Amino acid sequence: MSGLFRRLATRPGATVPFTIDGVQAEARVGDLLISAILLHRHALRRFEFGPGERAGYCLMGACQDCWVGLADGRRLRACTTLIESGMAVVTGGADA
């Protein structure tokens, strides 16, 4: 893994398969969606108002910087959403 976040301690528990832009990835049960993505990537999504990428800011549900899209059309705030098996995250080309 080579993302923005690093897991500092191995946590027991089942793994959760999901995808980021169609690429298989893996998280742990209980991981937040922002952690699951940023353990693999350096950004969550392309910035919709200019060049660059976004990777969250407050990490506590206040700033709204971590919204991500899923292939099924849902938009989720990644820092307050637990990863679910089979989630298909679409980043819009961030960190590609």
Interacting residue with ligand FES among 33, 56, 68, 83 (CB under 6 A): 56
Our finding on whether 64 is near ligand FES (CB under 6 A) is: yes
> Which residues make beta-bridge pairs with 76?
68
Give the contacts of 80 (CB within 8 A, at least 6 positions apart).
Answer: 32, 61
Rg (C-alpha) for the chain, rounded Å, is 12
Per-residue CA distances from 83 to 31, 47, 50, 51, 91 (Å): 6, 22, 28, 28, 15
Residue whose CB is less far from ligand FES, 14 or 60:
60
Tell me which of 61, 71, 74, 86 binds ligand FES, using CB under 6 A.
Answer: 61
59 is a contact residue toward ligand FES (CB under 6 A) = yes
**Residues 71-90 as x/- pattern, contact with ligand FES by CB under 6 A:** ------x-x-----------
Task: Report the interface residues with ligand FES, using CB under 6 A.
Answer: 56-59, 61-66, 77, 79
